[in-house]
Chain A
Amino acid sequence: MERNEEDEKIPISQRPEWSDVTPIPQDDGPNPVVPIAYKDDFTETMDYFRAVYFADERSPRSLHLTAEAIHKNAGNYTVWHFRRLILEALNADLHEELDFIEQVGSGNPKNYQIWHHRRWVAEKLGTDATSKELKFTEKILSLDAKNYHAWSHRQWVLQALGGWEDELDYCKQLLEEDVFNNSAWNQRYFVVTRSPFLGGLEAMRESEVKYTVEAITANPENESPWRYLRGLYKDDTQSWVNDPQVSSLCLKVLIAKENRKSVFALSTLLDLLCHGFEPSQEFIDAVDALKTPDLDLSDSNLATTICLILGRIDPLRENYWTWRKSKLPT
């Protein structure tokens, strides 16, 4: 359905096809709170919408009217709801509806109602819509690779309609474009844990750890892969503590002696220690090398030392590191 902007400029009261309808005005009462400076055409469109909704007129002209109302305010869930009723009553072409949604959505990529409507249509079309939906979300994500709605919709499509085959590659591609994209890391986790083609988290752990270690080594200050790494051992902390790849990664980052980039390596090592990790002399030496003369390290063990160093190199969270130190077993 093509949008005809010229038609939409003619006041509805002057359109012959609407002459039989009496619009229902909005009743704000005598002293409205937070009144909005509505434009006249907005008011008129909604007056006519109220009329057809009240009369439950599920006709082609009502459908056009909902489109006009949506163009003026894509957030009105009542209008969307009625549009869905009309689409069903008219047995409308839902592929065309996807085009309509794309057109409306291009200016409103973060509107809940639009995405919900898209999902409703896709659900009705079933697997006929799979590739279209994956392409659509890919398009939105190419403009904003972190659009939460696009990711949620994409996850829903994968779970409801399938299309998992190329998803891990898609994540890889996005991470190549921006390894700091937390959404892409999250999606990777989603695929690794839920794809019916990959065997689940434990089966994937080995290869994923390798991938993540590489990413961290290249950018140790990147929070996302550190969280992802921990996530790979979800519900299995002991494996995380015992896996030499994890601890040696921390060691490697610390040895590079770049304070600004060592925060996550230090906090990870701290967490490992709190869960029973037994450090070799290498770890003690590496942390030692990060000490500054102003730190009072009498009576300090490795964990305490780490807390003190973190208090210095991560000053925003100084109070937190002090508290962590106080919580360490004596």
Chain B
Amino acid sequence: MDSEGSSPPFFDREKHVVFLQMMNRLLPLDYQAQEINRLTLAYFAISGLHILGALDQAHPRNDTELNRQFFGFHGSRSSQFPRDDNGALIHNGSHLASTYCALAILKIIGYNFSCINSKSILTSMRNLQQSDGSFMPTHVGAEADLRFVFCAAAICSMLENWSGMDKEKAKEYILNCQSYDGGFGLIPGSESHAVSGTGGATYCAVASLQLMGFIEDDILSKSSSSSFINVQLLLDWSLQRQAADGGFQGRANKASDTCYAFWVGGVLRILGAYKFIDEKALRRFLLTCQSRYGGFSKFPGQLPDIYHSYYGFSAFSMLEEPGLIPICVELGIADIAAIGH
């Protein structure tokens, strides 16, 4: 990291707020390739500002405009089509991740959830669950894995209605995703991993179980044989993800990356084991990924992006950084949003 104009050695909240405000106003061209997931980007911006204690500085009124629903939410208006000759919206297909992000945003801004057509969202969602318990994100055919099990569980939790999924089947699928080393893969058989693309496999597994009510409060004190997942192995694997540089890695023998401070830190938090990490060392690492322009990058000394920034802020919230508000780890939004205004 260069000493000329580098980021200060403390969490630079003001700069981060400015960074998100800029993103909120206009995302650079580089984000063109992620435009189908604009709702996810909006979630990062809005939830990020909320965690930083600066929600009032997001667009106040206009968030609800993006949240139009057709049995679920789209990622972006680029995939929205006018009604056909019969007045039907058949070309519009919702996406579970977008639905999750939309509901999260609505929770954050205190939207009245009784105005939401929960029934149609949940019915549609039920049809996305596969026979092995996993979920596909869209009806038009896509990969099915743990990321969408998490989205489904989070949606049910926020709508306070579990008719959208068969919890037992989902639990079974999650169980089949636990790897021989204790972590979870995105699908049965795959390498256990804290994150892949847009979600953390192990985070998705544990957060889903927590939301569905399958994780007892004092799970660490129970003997390992009483739990349906191998908790001891999971705990050991997760703690081992904190590397010598203080940061968290996604898999064994890989480089530390900002976002895993949330994905793996979150797992430990849910298990009641966050106290076992070295918080000072983690803070030190994260600050090397803090950009002098605001935001966080994946690795030290790189340019920031909104995804790593959001998870950097979430990680600092878990570290109880002054000025940041506490988060509900398993939902990925501030505690106060999760509980309801």
A-to-B contact residues, CB < 8 Å: 24, 26-39, 42, 46, 50, 53-54, 72-78, 81, 84, 110, 112-113, 115-116, 119-120, 146, 148-149, 151-152, 155, 159, 180-183, 186-187, 189-190, 194, 222-224, 227-228, 230-231, 234, 267, 315-320, 323
Is B121 interfacial (CB 8 A cutoff)?
no
Q: Distance in Å from the Cβ of B194 to the closest Cβ of chain A?
A: 11
A113 vs B193: C-alpha distance when bound (angstroms): 20
Whether A182 touches B187, Cβ cut-off 8 Å, given contacts A76-B79, A316-B242, is no
Q: Which one of B77, B189, B252 lies within 8 Å of A190 (CB-CB)?
A: B189
Which chain A residues border B36 with CB–CB below 8 Å? Answer: 73, 75-78
Q: Which one of A30, A34, A54, A73 lies within 8 Å of B41 (CB-CB)?
A: A34
Does A31 contact B59, Cβ atoms closer than 8 Å? yes
Which chain A residues border B33 with CB–CB below 8 Å? Answer: 73-75
Q: Distance in Å from the Cβ of A327 to the closest Cβ of chain B?
A: 8
Interface string of B57-78 (1 = CB under 8 A from A): 0010111011000000000011
Which chain B residues border A27 with CB–CB below 8 Å? Answer: 77, 80
A30 vs B66: C-alpha distance when bound (angstroms): 11
Does B32 contact A73, Cβ atoms closer than 8 Å? yes
Please report which residues of chain B, range 74-103, place their CB below 8 angstroms from some CB of chain A when the two chains form the complex. Answer: 77-82, 84, 91, 93, 95
Does A316 contact B281, Cβ atoms closer than 8 Å? yes
Please report which residues of chain B, range 252-268, place their CB below 8 angstroms from some CB of chain A when the two chains form the complex. Answer: 252-254
Q: Which one of A50, A84, A155, A315 lies within 8 Å of B81 (CB-CB)?
A: A50
Does A73 contact B191, Cβ atoms closer than 8 Å? no
Is B138 interfacial (CB 8 A cutoff)?
yes
A230 vs B182: C-alpha distance when bound (angstroms): 10
Q: Distance in Å from the Cβ of A126 to the closest Cβ of chain B?
A: 18
A187 vs B25: C-alpha distance when bound (angstroms): 44
B-to-A contact residues, CB < 8 Å: 23-29, 31-38, 41-42, 45-46, 59, 61-63, 65-66, 77-82, 84, 91, 93, 95, 138, 140-143, 179-182, 186-187, 189-193, 196-197, 233, 236-237, 239-240, 242, 244, 246, 251-254, 273, 275-278, 281
A180 vs B182: C-alpha distance when bound (angstroms): 18
Q: Which one of B26, B63, B240 lies within 8 Å of A35 (CB-CB)?
A: B26
Q: 7 nearest interchain CB pairs?
A: A231-B180, A227-B181, A186-B191, A320-B276, A31-B62, A182-B252, A180-B253
Q: Which one of A73, A77, A120, A227 lies within 8 Å of B95 (CB-CB)?
A: A77
Pairs A–B under 8 Å by Cβ, sample size 7: A26-B77, A33-B38, A46-B78, A54-B82, A77-B140, A78-B36, A230-B233
A81 vs B138: C-alpha distance when bound (angstroms): 11
Kindly list 8 other residue pairs between chains A and B, CB separation below 8 angstroms, not including A54-B81, A194-B189, A317-B239: A33-B63, A34-B41, A37-B27, A53-B91, A148-B193, A223-B240, A315-B278, A317-B276
Does B65 contact A31, Cβ atoms closer than 8 Å? yes
Does B27 contact A73, Cβ atoms closer than 8 Å? no
- Our count of residue pairs bridging A and B at CB distance below 8 angstroms stands at 181
A231 vs B138: C-alpha distance when bound (angstroms): 35
Does A317 contact B95, Cβ atoms closer than 8 Å? no
A28 vs B33: C-alpha distance when bound (angstroms): 17
Which chain B residues border A39 with CB–CB below 8 Å? Answer: 29, 32
Select from chain B the residue with minimum beta-carbon distance to A182: B252
A72 vs B32: C-alpha distance when bound (angstroms): 8
A159 vs B142: C-alpha distance when bound (angstroms): 19
Whether A36 touches B65, Cβ cut-off 8 Å, given contacts A26-B78, A182-B254, A319-B275, is no
Q: Which one of B34, B143, B189 lies within 8 Å of A75 (CB-CB)?
A: B34
Does B45 contact A34, Cβ atoms closer than 8 Å? yes
A328 vs B82: C-alpha distance when bound (angstroms): 65
A183 vs B78: C-alpha distance when bound (angstroms): 37
Select from chain A the residue with minimum beta-carbon distance to B237: A227
Which chain A residues border B189 with CB–CB below 8 Å? Answer: 155, 159, 190, 194
Which chain B residues border A35 with CB–CB below 8 Å? Answer: 25-27
Q: Distance in Å from the Cβ of A40 to the closest Cβ of chain B?
A: 11
Q: Distance in Å from the Cβ of B319 to the closest Cβ of chain A?
A: 15
Does A77 contact B27, Cβ atoms closer than 8 Å? no
Does B251 contact A37, Cβ atoms closer than 8 Å? no
Q: Which one of B91, B138, B179 lies within 8 Å of A77 (CB-CB)?
A: B138
Which chain A residues border B78 with CB–CB below 8 Å? Answer: 26, 46, 50, 76
Which chain A residues border B140 with CB–CB below 8 Å? Answer: 77-78, 81
Whether A183 touches B239, Cβ cut-off 8 Å, given contacts A36-B31, A38-B32, A73-B36, is no
Does A222 contact B246, Cβ atoms closer than 8 Å? no
Select from chain A the residue with minimum beta-carbon distance to B25: A35
Which chain B residues border A37 with CB–CB below 8 Å? Answer: 26-29, 32
Q: Which one of A33, A119, A222 lies within 8 Å of B62 (CB-CB)?
A: A33
A116 vs B41: C-alpha distance when bound (angstroms): 22
A9 vs B281: C-alpha distance when bound (angstroms): 51
Does A33 contact B65, Cβ atoms closer than 8 Å? yes
Which chain B residues border A24 with CB–CB below 8 Å? Answer: 81-82
Whether A110 touches B181, Cβ cut-off 8 Å, given contacts A33-B24, A75-B33, is no
Which chain A residues border B187 with CB–CB below 8 Å? Answer: 152
Q: Which one of A42, A116, A186 lies within 8 Å of B142 (CB-CB)?
A: A116
A300 vs B41: C-alpha distance when bound (angstroms): 54
Select from chain B the residue with minimum beta-carbon distance to A35: B26
Does A182 contact B251, Cβ atoms closer than 8 Å? yes
Select from chain B the residue with minimum beta-carbon distance to A56: B91
Q: Distance in Å from the Cβ of A30 to the closest Cβ of chain B?
A: 8
Select from chain B the residue with minimum beta-carbon distance to A53: B91
Q: Distance in Å from the Cβ of B49 to the closest Cβ of chain A?
A: 12
A179 vs B33: C-alpha distance when bound (angstroms): 35
A78 vs B179: C-alpha distance when bound (angstroms): 33
Q: Which one of B59, B61, B66, B191 lies within 8 Å of A183 (CB-CB)?
A: B191
A189 vs B95: C-alpha distance when bound (angstroms): 34
Whether A148 touches B181, Cβ cut-off 8 Å, given contacts A24-B81, A53-B81, is no
Which chain B residues border A110 with CB–CB below 8 Å? Answer: 197
A81 vs B142: C-alpha distance when bound (angstroms): 9
A234 vs B230: C-alpha distance when bound (angstroms): 11
A224 vs B138: C-alpha distance when bound (angstroms): 36
